A and B are shown apart, each in its own frame.
Chain A
């Protein structure tokens, strides 16, 4: 029982309270870059969720079963980024072969995910927090869903912003950043709910 509660709390914590985008500042580049249209934003978010869940499982296994027993902890970053890059490649090939429809919808975002710091950041956080395997997978999935929610909300706001009259120097990245700041302010309401 306490195990399940623990997992639920880990999920809520990373999806809402410690949202990757709003409190950890991870994955800001796609958050601002791919959030012009809601459907594209959701596609990107789901692709990230997919890769993040798999990478969290893979990096946990490699870190705990190979790197730590062999005392190779210092090569962690190099190994993690290679795992993520190959994971992205693998997922891309698999999805292209077996789910052409799905590939159509998030095909172009997949290669971009390798350099999404939300993935590497979450894998490193899981290591830092000393999560167990199941908790690591749940945290990866929750982190991905939190990212999807953030990017979808941002895309919704930006679709409205298209119609607004913004002062010339503030147009583009400027107003997007200010809007993101206000959205972050709203999300601070969750802080303290779960540690």
Chain B
């Protein structure tokens, strides 16, 4: 039961980067296409799960004074592994993600989960927490990537969606579109939340 709860919070109360406003750099930088977004999300998920497991296993060994430095070294090691794997098997993807693969080292979501969750909880919960948050992050990146790819290039996963006459809204493929797109998505999410909250209150009032 606890496992399900720790997993699903990555999609609800802790959905990064909407509910947990952390790790925005890759979110904004790599979401020009859906494929890049999903690739980045999965790479971060791998690092997050591995670092959470190892931090949780070592939580009684690491002295609390130097824990942040230890966490960063652990995370950096897994990032090196991910980069080597991606260069070997997904070379075009690793080229288009570029510097944002090594920058997973300083992604605050990963360090944040190590510090806030993995350092205090047993291994299986830490692994599930990492998987949930990581997949939530991947989902968010995929959604923002979809919006930006459809509007900015008129394609989805590389296939053109519209006819010849479609004029792509290039703003969304460039830097300002990333900020505005994320801001508008956050706005929609908050609006839906408020709407649902109000609907629930009204149904409660009707009942009593």
A residues lining the B interface (CB < 8 Å): 22-29, 32, 74-78, 81-82, 85, 114-117, 120-121, 124-125, 128, 167-170, 173-178, 180-182, 184-185, 188
| Interchain CB contact under 8 A, B105 and A173 | no
> Given A32-B21, A124-B102, A78–B73 Cβ distance below 8 Å?
yes
Residues of the B chain whose Cβ atoms lie less than 8 Å from the Cβ of A24:
29
B77 CB–A CB distance under 8 Å? yes
Taking the nearest CB of chain B, how far is it from the CB of A190, in angstroms?
12
> Given A25-B28, A120-B102, A169-B190, A175–B183 Cβ distance below 8 Å?
yes
- Which listed residue (B25, B105, B171) contacts A77, Cβ 8 A? B105
A-B CB contacts (within 8 Å), total count: 121
Complex alpha-carbon distance, A188 and B80, angstroms: 33
B174 CB–A CB distance under 8 Å? yes
Residues of the A chain whose Cβ atoms lie less than 8 Å from the Cβ of B105:
77, 81, 120
Residues of the B chain whose Cβ atoms lie less than 8 Å from the Cβ of A29:
22-25, 108
B157 CB–A CB distance under 8 Å? no
Residues of the B chain whose Cβ atoms lie less than 8 Å from the Cβ of A185:
171, 176
Q: Which of B175, B178, B180 has the most CB of A within 10 A?
A: B175
> Given A28-B25, A121-B103, A125-B99, A81–B76 Cβ distance below 8 Å?
yes
| Interchain CB contact under 8 A, B77 and A78 | yes
Interface of B is mostly: helix
B162 CB–A CB distance under 8 Å? no
> Given A170-B190, A174-B187, A82–B73 Cβ distance below 8 Å?
yes
B119 CB–A CB distance under 8 Å? no
Residues of the B chain whose Cβ atoms lie less than 8 Å from the Cβ of A74:
80, 84
> C-beta contact mask, B26-60 vs A, less than 8 Å → 1, else 0?
10110000000000000000000000000000000
Complex alpha-carbon distance, A22 and B175, angstroms: 7
Residues of the B chain whose Cβ atoms lie less than 8 Å from the Cβ of A188:
174-176
| Interchain CB contact under 8 A, B191 and A117 | no
> C-beta contact mask, B86-104 vs A, less than 8 Å → 1, else 0?
0000000000000100110
Complex alpha-carbon distance, A1 and B193, angstroms: 61
Considering only CB atoms, which chain B residue lies closest to A20 in the complex?
B25
Taking the nearest CB of chain A, how far is it from the CB of B127, in angstroms?
23
Complex alpha-carbon distance, A25 and B83, angstroms: 20
| Interchain CB contact under 8 A, B106 and A117 | yes
Residues of the A chain whose Cβ atoms lie less than 8 Å from the Cβ of B83:
77
Considering only CB atoms, which chain A residue lies closest to B189 in the complex?
A169
Complex alpha-carbon distance, A21 and B23, angstroms: 14
Considering only CB atoms, which chain B residue lies closest to A32 in the complex?
B24
| Interchain CB contact under 8 A, A128 and B99 | yes
Residues of the B chain whose Cβ atoms lie less than 8 Å from the Cβ of A114:
68, 72, 106
Residues of the B chain whose Cβ atoms lie less than 8 Å from the Cβ of A25:
24-26, 28-29, 175, 178
B111 CB–A CB distance under 8 Å? yes
Complex alpha-carbon distance, A22 and B22, angstroms: 18
Complex alpha-carbon distance, A181 and B182, angstroms: 9
| Interchain CB contact under 8 A, B175 and A177 | no
Known: A121-B25, A168-B194, A174-B183. 9 other contacts (CB 8 A): A26-B25, A29-B108, A117-B107, A120-B106, A177-B186, A180-B179, A180-B183, A184-B176, A185-B171
B131 CB–A CB distance under 8 Å? no
Considering only CB atoms, which chain B residue lies closest to A118 in the complex?
B25
Residues of the A chain whose Cβ atoms lie less than 8 Å from the Cβ of B24:
25, 28-29, 32
| Interchain CB contact under 8 A, B187 and A75 | no
Complex alpha-carbon distance, A176 and B191, angstroms: 16
| Interchain CB contact under 8 A, B99 and A124 | yes
| Interchain CB contact under 8 A, A174 and B190 | yes
Considering only CB atoms, which chain B residue lies closest to A119 in the complex?
B106
Question: Which 9 pairs of residues, A with B, have the shortest CB-CB distance?
Answer: A177-B183, A181-B179, A169-B190, A181-B180, A25-B29, A178-B183, A169-B191, A185-B176, A28-B24
